[in-house]
Amino acid sequence: MAESPPGSVSVRKMEDRFGHRISYLRVSVTDRCNERCQYCMPQETQEWLNREEVLSYEEMLRVVRVGSGLGISKIRVTGGEPLTRRNVLWFFEQLNRVDGINDIGISTNGTLLGKLTKEGISTAQALKNAGVRTVNVSLDTLDPESYAETTGRDLFEDAVAGIDAAREAGFEKIKINSVLMRHRNEHELWDMIEFAKDRELLLRFIELMPVSTTHVLTEENFLPSGEAKKLIEFRHGKLKPRPDIRTNGPATYYEIPGTGQIVGFIGAMTNLHFCETCNKLRLTCEGKLRPCLGSHLEFDMREVLRNEEMTDEDVARFFMNVVDRKPEMHEFRENYQPGRKMVAIGG
């Protein structure tokens, strides 16, 4: 790779060995969370990373700046629960100032979106003011008891208040991500559809993935998206495929006949085309760059970031090397054994 003068990372594009242009970086800002979702975290006592192990906002911004010079234009901030990290609104404001970043989103459990900031506005409104375009809220059930059981916290009302705060703030898009679990929420799919329709939210059902070291990730709890689709069709009639709808991710979308409402499915386990459009990298909060959620490959970028001799050009080279190792597809269908908890990777 040719050397560039210091401070001027030349504009190159990152493309993996399979022709995917990499333009999307998920940044996990914390491994901590105010909930304890059964499929995400082991239920035993949590051990969190020490403060100095977690990248500072400045370090994360440097990664984003270098990434944008290599073609990254979309950032989704995630965690853990990103809204639990101190001064996270400042981080969003700074992200919005990075040249080349034109699409900023957040993945959140929603429980803190309605919380008022010092300025007396909702956190959702503050995120909107900071330049966030899309909000993905996780909500698996509309039953407060089931919510408490799944998430380990009695925060259903806060999550719904958060969704309403996001609606009031007027985001371009609000998506609801709902993890499918047999015997847990399969009887609620129709109600979830109504909930999303009433509030004009884009609902997506997600298959359980073996990404975490938790006890609920079993065959018995797995509900395939094809079966969820059939359950929906039982009431609503045949769903119409909408391949024209793309949200820069692996969801496939369908239209519910008669209403025009769109519903999405994220079927990492059963959709054999799942990885074909992957344009994503993940930065964990302790600075590991991961080319794929469903592979154990991860590379320690923190070492480079904290080495004073390493320039932005070295960080760029690190990016390119990781992209070169991006696998063609995930390994979830090959008896993949999770190595760490999801909350530490960043969903």
Q: Which residues bind ligand SAM (CB under 6 A)?
A: 33, 39-40, 78-79, 81, 107-109, 138, 177, 179, 206, 208-209, 211-212, 217, 342-343, 347
Q: Least separation, in Å, of the C-beta of 250 and ligand SF4?
A: 18
Please state, in angstroms and rounded to a whole number, the distance separating the CA atoms of residues 209 and 255: 25
CA distances for 226 relative to 62, 185, 209, 266, angstroms: 41, 15, 15, 10
Please state, in angstroms and rounded to a whole number, the distance separating the CA atoms of residues 113 and 285: 21
Member of 71, 79, 105, 210 binding ligand SF4 (CB under 6 A) = 79
Member of 60, 71, 81, 208 binding ligand SF4 (CB under 6 A) = 81
Task: Please give the single-letter amino acid code of residue 285.
Answer: C
DSSP state of 190: H
Q: 261 touches which of ligand SF4, ligand SAM, none (CB within 5 to 8 A by kind)?
A: none
List the Cα angle 90/69/22 in 5-degree steps.
95
Comparing CB distances to ligand SAM, the nearer of 27 and 211 is: 211
Comparing CB distances to ligand SF4, the nearer of 88 and 262 is: 88
β-sheet bridge partners, residue 206:
179, 266
Site mask for ligand SF4 (CB under 6 A), range 134-153, x = bound: ----x------------x--
């409104």: which residue's tokens? Answer: 125
Member of 23, 109, 141, 284 binding ligand SF4 (CB under 6 A) = 109
Q: 36 touches which of ligand SAM, ligand SF4, none (CB within 5 to 8 A by kind)?
A: ligand SF4
Please state, in angstroms and rounded to a whole number, the distance separating the CA atoms of residues 147 and 141: 6
CA distances for 92 relative to 34, 96, 112, 232, 328, angstroms: 20, 6, 16, 37, 31
Give the residue among 139, 329, 177, 160 at the shortest CA–CA distance from 263: 177
Residue range at the interface with ligand SF4 (CB under 6 A); choices 34-42, 65-73, 246-254, 320-328: 34-42
Q: Least separation, in Å, of the C-beta of 217 and ligand SAM?
A: 6
Number of residues that bind ligand SF4 (CB under 6 A): 13
Give the residue among 12, 50, 55 at the shortest CA–CA distance from 287: 55
Member of 67, 71, 80, 294 binding ligand SF4 (CB under 6 A) = 80
Comparing CB distances to ligand SAM, the nearer of 9 and 40 is: 40
List the Cα angle 248/241/233 in 5-degree steps.
120
Comparing CB distances to ligand SF4, the nearer of 69 and 264 is: 264
Q: Does 41 bind ligand SF4 (CB under 6 A)?
A: yes
Q: Does 211 bind ligand SF4 (CB under 6 A)?
A: no
Please state, in angstroms and rounded to a whole number, the distance separating the CA atoms of residues 328 and 305: 28
Q: Least separation, in Å, of the C-beta of 146 and ligand SF4?
A: 14
Member of 29, 37, 268, 322 binding ligand SF4 (CB under 6 A) = 37
* DSSP 3-state percent helix, strand, coil across the chain (nearest 5): 30, 15, 55
Q: 41 touches which of ligand SAM, ligand SF4, none (CB within 5 to 8 A by kind)?
A: ligand SF4
Tokens of 301: 């970028």
164 exposed, middle or buried (CB, 10 Å; 0-12, 13-18, 19+)? middle
Residues at the interface with ligand SF4 (CB under 6 A): 33, 35-37, 40-41, 79-81, 109, 138, 151, 343
